[in-house]
A and B are shown apart, each in its own frame.
Chain A
Amino acid sequence: LSLPTPPARLPYVPQVSPMALLGKVTATTFALERPRGVFDSHADASDAVWLVVAFANASAAFRNPPSRADVPPYKQLPTARSYMTLETPAAAYSCSAPGPPVLRVGSDTACRDQGRQDPCNGPLPSPGPYRVKFLLMGCGGPKAETRWSEPILLRTAASPSTIDPAPARRGSAVVVITSILASLGAVLATAVLGALGAEVWGSLCHRDLGTDAFLRRSYRTHHIPPALPRPLPPGCRCSPPGLCHSAPQPPAPC
């Protein structure tokens, strides 16, 4: 029984897609750059490329499965610390093959829930970190493998109770409005109280308030007819007007 030839080591390093995608790393998924033309020199038409996903601290201990029947499934990830998924025909990774520029690991929630036996691209159960590599499998076992990727750490979401909703600083507008309005209100209240108090004080002391009132409510003027000058009595002859040369009569009012 001859030992199978060890798989060829390809220099390609898998990495998270360098494109500007907001969702390329979430809490349970990540998006890898699609390898193009990496396996062309080693792949036949019937070969398949698998993605090996392992916890970063378990990647060194991973052993390639000798055949397709020994491929570790998705649901053994917590115990076996690795699994293989995304079985794709090698032709899909050739230079000219069409397809999306990223491979999303963890996008299939249905196979997780229904527990199918097929290679399952289920969501990752913990933030990791994980390392991945591609493995080209033929009928006789693994034929080529890429290098392990750098550790990929998924997002951890914080609790919303850590959000502090208090404003950073007290707004100055509130202080301005409050202080100005409060002082205006105080002045008005003082003025009203002062005016009412002065009136009450005045009515208690029976002081005549009419002396400094500038407004008479009703202009009741007593109509005094102007005095008419009386006619001169006939006995008084005044040569310059107003001067009477008096006759021997008793003076009569001129």
Chain B
Amino acid sequence: MDSLAASAEQALKRWELENNITDAIYFYDEAKHAKIQQQKPWVKEPHYFKRVKISALALLKMVVHARSGGTIEIMGLMQGKVDGDTIIVMDAFALPVEGTETRVNAQADAYEYMVEYSQTNKQAGRLENVVGWYHSHPGYGCWLSGIDCSTQMLNQQFQEPFLAVVIDPTRTVSAGKVEIGAFRTYPEGYKPPSEPVSEYQTIPLNKIEDFGVHCKQYYSLDVTYFKSSLDNHLLDLLWNKYWVNTLSSSPLLANRDYVAGQISDLAEKLDQAETQLHSRLGSLPSRKKE
């Protein structure tokens, strides 16, 4: 019986480690971070950071904030630390700025907010630094637009280490899985080695140019999540109250407008494709008769 219990415990520990349920990650080592800040290993290699670990809390906060904005883009900052080639995001907070396509930099009072918030947080026991920013693209996918690219390039020059995260709350709700992407830009003039093709996502017609022009200037990082053991325990118990919501929720009902919008966008794309086809291969119909 003892050996059985011991092996069960080992299996549990292994599972915990694999599934990132560790509490050690919450410890903030001041000295270690000061050293990393001095060394700056990311300066030499543009592709240095490869992975992102987001805490359960940060994810929930970002998704809820993004969804609360409705169709308006929102933005906020993330706090965390760096560990080797992984950026760890522990927490996120919202910024009081209106998101518009013409915004290049958050305005002055947003900076003031950020400074004050970081100060009060440090007092309350959250010691991490700001390690990135996030914003939402409601309905049109997770990628960096031209403005986003230039903002991020600026950030990566002066506020390293910095990460850009994009969330699409509309697609999250309609697809039933979290639509999130983490990106870092390449510095000016750097030619990236050819990357494996990432998962295909549909971009609405009016944004497709913006997407295409800049899509080679940044690369995406792998996103994984972690939670504490207490979080895990609470979430398990939460499920006991949650199952009703799971059954009663219907993604179709919740997202009617979005689905209708997507279908009409698709129709437009097909129209465009058709006109292109006719202009290029005008001789095609006659061939088939032979």
A, B assembled together: no
Interface residues of B, Cβ cutoff 8 Å to A: none
